[in-house]
């Protein structure tokens, strides 16, 4: 079939799309009018009669029926709207692939066209387009022409693929078309990646590689671990995995059953358009920091992971620096979790701290009374279950106190301050009480006043706020005695206790504190999450990951990372994130090919990549990375401005000046803000925009830019071995152009690269 014939088919498909759109528009208009009519005449169509009990039941049934009818119409109208959006996307680019397949034994050859959604013909009998997630579409990703097979609910279908063809279609016209038998997507990727980075990651459904397809369609593993080099398509694959799972299990899974942990809010904005492009709604996204904040008391300040790394990179002269590193290292280990578990076991028999329950500056129930009641309960009962029993006991005791308070003078004073509306409410409600009681109105008002003032106390009791979690956690460091503890335990304890006394949790203490709180009060996490996805998992400590496993014990997980980009180096020293014995039903997939950067950038960066993993460059040519030596520090602003203008002239739309720290990025921003249009990115930045951006490397995780400038690549600035991951991460963000600048001798990592892999200016 030649190009002209393929274009004719596209024209026919577009006519079918227009026909279906017109039908849907008519349906949508009718539905809209029907909904407006239902809303307008809602009460006219409801039988309202409240005279007899049977009439009340009939009225309720009539109301429910009318409300359900309206709700169903509105839901259907929303579904029609979604279908129209999908058809509009298909009209622009109906499909991206075609395979011809002969199913065994010797059936007729079938032409299968693959796009972002399925489309049936006029009579709803045959598929004009198959959804990329349909079982038959896996042929396109997994096989070259020749023998091929795919899995269905009924079993394995075998046969022969006689043709694999790829299309680039824009605005209904073929811009590119080729038959291929080689690695899927290479030619397409050359064109897709040759374009500039957009402000939101593009869907690359058409270019899924075979190993990425294993990630996307994996339904077996309870823990899927993906190690992928920078630019290997990890994030793209996991987002397509989410879209696939929502399509495959659409009767059972909704967006609320899936949760994605992203590295920072900027990354969440960066990927926000991907799932809608793939035909699905966005799922819930959060960062580990935001997730932990929800469970920790509001009056406790939590250090962010970015504040932690900024501290480790800039506060070397601080007197507490050495002990802080020891604190980070120990509390990132599972050893600390074992210590906490031991401490919690002891708390079954004594040591939990409680708070007084006070009312009008008087102690209602003392912390000692609460403690004595808690420890009078059977020690075999789990701590969280005992807490619930204490809560019920406290509510009964409070009710007794509440009754006693009704007769007191302060209640009379409060009644006198009530407004007219409260009196009217009391009058009408009290009419239902004992008619022979002349004081019934006053009794009602007293009850209302006392109940209002006791409500906050009862709410706190129900939320178990009578337990002093912080004080109990703090005693681990002031009174805790353990046989197995680190050499520096005394130093760590003094350091931690000082922070806790100021109601401050360092980042390394946040997950342990949350775990400790959950073990005492019970785990109240949303159990509806059935699939959890974690990106940049190499930046999680072993304790943090163990805590996530504790919170989501029955949830399937897909975790993605790159050991080369583990910038929180102190967090996982000699401490594997996922011990081999942690998960029986786990699968590991490794992606070694980098599609993001040009061949020249990958060839340069692979010399100093921290891990031992193989990195294969993608065959996309570009300029060699440039190393500019400044004659003096004063030249930096002019040199940066000149290089940015040059990159803009080349058509690059997203240019990042990537610094080692926030401190450095603030200094660069102030140097440039009056010379050129520039935006500084910090951890509060929630939207990704085109243009010139200046940011610290730890906020660039997971994001790619047309061009990257590293303003200080000197040996003095990137001096430690632990800086290797930072420098590698910064360099590997670049798609087309990498520029490094130094006033002094270049850093060791540049010197490790072969001299012919970069250009010296």
CA 458 vs. chain centroid, Å, equals: 35
Provide the CA 521 distance to its chain's centre, in angstroms. 26
How buried is 134 (Cβ within 10 angstroms: 0-12 exposed, 13-18 middle, 19+ buried)? Answer: middle
| β-bridge partners, 742 | 629
Instruction: Tell me: is residue 232 an annotated ligand-binding position.
Output: yes
The answer to whether the beta carbons of residues 736 and 572 sit under 8 Å apart is no
User: Exposure of 9 by Cβ count < 10 A (0-12 exposed, 13-18 middle, 19+ buried)?
Assistant: middle
Tokens 């002891």 belong to which residue?
346
Cβ-Cβ contacts under 8 Å for 280 (sequence gap 6 or more): 242, 243, 246, 247, 255
DSSP 175: E
On whether 115 is known to bind a ligand per the annotation, the reply is no
Neighbouring-strand partners of residue 354: 467
Contacts of 387 by beta carbon, 8 Å cutoff, 6+ apart: 374, 464, 467, 520, 521, 522
Rg (CA), the chain: 32
Bridge partners of 710, per DSSP, are 740
- Which pair of tokens denotes residue 639? 């040199």
Known binding residue 231? Answer is yes
Question: Is 234 part of any known ligand binding site?
Answer: yes
Do 446 and 411 meet the contact criterion of CB atoms below 8 Å apart?
yes
For residue 480, give the DSSP letter. -
Q: Are strands 357-359 and 362-365 parallel, antiparallel or unpaired?
A: antiparallel
Q: Locate 63 and state its tokens.
A: 């109301």
**Measured distance CA(136)–CA(99) in Å, rounded:** 10
- At 273 the three-state DSSP class reads coil
* DSSP H helix total and E strand total for the chain: 26, 26
Output DSSP code: residue 203.
P
Report the b/e string of 502-520 with b at 16+ CB within 10 A. eeebbbbbbbbbbbbbbbb
Q: What distance in Å separates the CA atoms of residue 283 and residue 246, rounded to the nearest whole number? A: 10
- Separation CA 387–CA 469 (nearest Å): 12
Sequential DSSP letters for 288-304 = HHHHHHTTS-TTSEE--
235 is in an annotated binding site: yes
**Count of Cβ atoms closer than 10 Å to residue 484 Cβ:** 9
Do 500 and 322 meet the contact criterion of CB atoms below 8 Å apart?
no
Write a three-state SS string for 364-428. Answer: EECHHHHHHHHHHCCCCCCHHHHHHHHHHHHHHHHHHHHHHHCCCHHHHHHHHCCCHHHHHHHHH
Direct distance between the N- and C-terminal alpha carbons of the chain, in angstroms, rounded to an integer: 52
Distance CA 396, CA 726 (A): 58
Please say whether the beta carbons of 306 and 312 come within 8 A.
Answer: no
SS3 315: coil
**Distance separating alpha carbons of residues 13 and 186, to the nearest angstrom:** 27
- Look up residue 44 and give its two tokens: 């006219």
In angstroms, the CA 363 to CA 138 distance is: 68
Task: List the binding residues.
Answer: 228-235
Per the annotation, where are the binding residues for ATP?
228-235
């Amino acid at each position: 079939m030649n190009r002209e014939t393929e274009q004719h088919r596209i024209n026919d498909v577009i006519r079918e799309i227009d026909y279906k759109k017109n039908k849907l528009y008519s349906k949508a208009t009718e539905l809209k009018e029907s909904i407006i009519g239902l809303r307008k005449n809602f009460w006219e169509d409801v039988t309202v009669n409240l005279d007899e009990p049977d009439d009340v039941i009939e009225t309720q049934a009539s109301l429910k029926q009318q409300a359900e009818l309206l709700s169903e119409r509105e839901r259907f109208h929303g579904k029609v709207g979604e279908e129209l959006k999908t058809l509009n996307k298909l009209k622009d680019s109906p499909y991206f692939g075609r395979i011809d397949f002969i199913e065994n034994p010797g059936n007729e050859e079938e032409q299968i066209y693959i796009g972002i959604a399925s489309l049936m013909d006029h009579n709803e009998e045959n598929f004009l387009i198959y959804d990329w997630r349909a079982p038959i579409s896996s042929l396109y990703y997994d096989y070259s022409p020749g023998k091929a097979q795919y899995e269905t609910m009924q079993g394995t279908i075998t046969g022969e693929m006689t043709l694999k063809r790829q299309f680039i279609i824009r605005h209904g016209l073929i811009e590119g078309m080729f038959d291929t038998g080689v690695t899927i997507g290479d030619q397409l990727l050359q064109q897709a990646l040759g374009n500039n980075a957009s402000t939101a990651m593009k869907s690359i459904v058409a270019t899924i590689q075979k190993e990425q397809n294993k990630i996307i369609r994996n339904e077996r593993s309870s823990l899927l671990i993906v190690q992928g080099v920078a630019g290997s398509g990890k994030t793209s694959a996991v987002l397509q995995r989410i879209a696939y799972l929502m399509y495959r299990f659409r009767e059972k899974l909704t967006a609320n059953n899936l949760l994605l942990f992203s590295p920072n809010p900027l990354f969440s904005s960066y990927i926000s358009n991907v799932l809608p492009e793939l035909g699905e709604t966005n799922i819930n996204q959060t960062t580990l920091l935001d997730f932990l904040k929800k469970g920790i008391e509001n009056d406790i300040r939590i250090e962010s992971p970015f504040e932690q790394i900024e501290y480790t990179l800039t506060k070397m002269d601080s007197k507490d620096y050495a002990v802080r590193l020891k604190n980070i290292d120990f509390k990132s280990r599972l050893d600390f979790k074992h210590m906490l578990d031991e401490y919690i076991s002891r708390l079954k028999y004594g040591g939990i701290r409680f708070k007084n329950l006070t009312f009008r500056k008087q102690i209602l129930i003392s912390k000692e009374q609460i403690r004595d009641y808690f420890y009078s309960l059977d020690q075999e009962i789990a701590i969280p279950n005992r807490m619930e029993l204490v809560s019920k006991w406290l509510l009964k005791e409070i009710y007794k106190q509440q009754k006693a308070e009704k007769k007191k003078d302060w209640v009379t004073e409060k009644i006198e301050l009530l407004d007219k509306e409260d009196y009217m409410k009391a009058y009408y409600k009290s009419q239902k009480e004992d008619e022979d009681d002349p004081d019934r109105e006053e009794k009602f008002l007293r009850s209302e006043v006392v109940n209002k003032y006791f409500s906050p106390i009862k709410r706190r009791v129900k939320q178990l706020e009578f337990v002093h979690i912080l004080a109990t956690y703090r005693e681990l460091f002031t009174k805790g005695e353990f046989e197995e503890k680190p050499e520096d335990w005394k130093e760590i304890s003094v350091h931690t206790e000082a922070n806790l006394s100021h109601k401050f949790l360092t980042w390394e203490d946040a997950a342990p504190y949350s775990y400790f709180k959950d073990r005492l009060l019970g785990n109240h996490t949303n159990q509806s999450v059935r699939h959890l996805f974690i990106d940049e998992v190499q930046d999680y400590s072993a304790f943090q990951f163990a805590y996530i496993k504790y919170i989501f014990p029955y949830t399937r997980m897909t975790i993605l990372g790159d050991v080369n980009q583990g910038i929180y180096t102190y967090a996982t020293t000699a401490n594997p994130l996922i011990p081999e014995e942690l998960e029986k039903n786990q699968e590991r997939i490794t992606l070694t090919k980098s599609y993001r950067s040009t061949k020249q950038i990958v060839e340069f960066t692979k010399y100093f990549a921290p891990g031992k993993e193989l990195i294969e460059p993608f065959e996309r040519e570009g300029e060699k990375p440039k190393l500019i030596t400044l004659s003096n520090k004063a030249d930096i602003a002019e040199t940066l401005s000149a290089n940015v203008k040059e990159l803009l002239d080349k058509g690059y739309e997203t240019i990042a000046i990537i610094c080692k720290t926030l401190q450095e990025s603030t200094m660069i921003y102030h140097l440039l803000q009056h010379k050129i249009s520039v935006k500084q990115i910090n951890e509060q930045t929630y939207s990704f925009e085109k243009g010139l951006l200046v940011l610290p490397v730890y906020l660039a995780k997971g994001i790619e830019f047309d061009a990257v400038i590293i303003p200080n690549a000197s040996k003095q600035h990137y001096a430690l071995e632990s800086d290797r991951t930072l420098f590698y991460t910064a360099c590997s963000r670049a798609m087309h152009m990498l520029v490094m600048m130094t006033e002094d001798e270049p850093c060791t990592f540049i010197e490790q690269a072969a001299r012919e892999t970069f250009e010296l200016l």
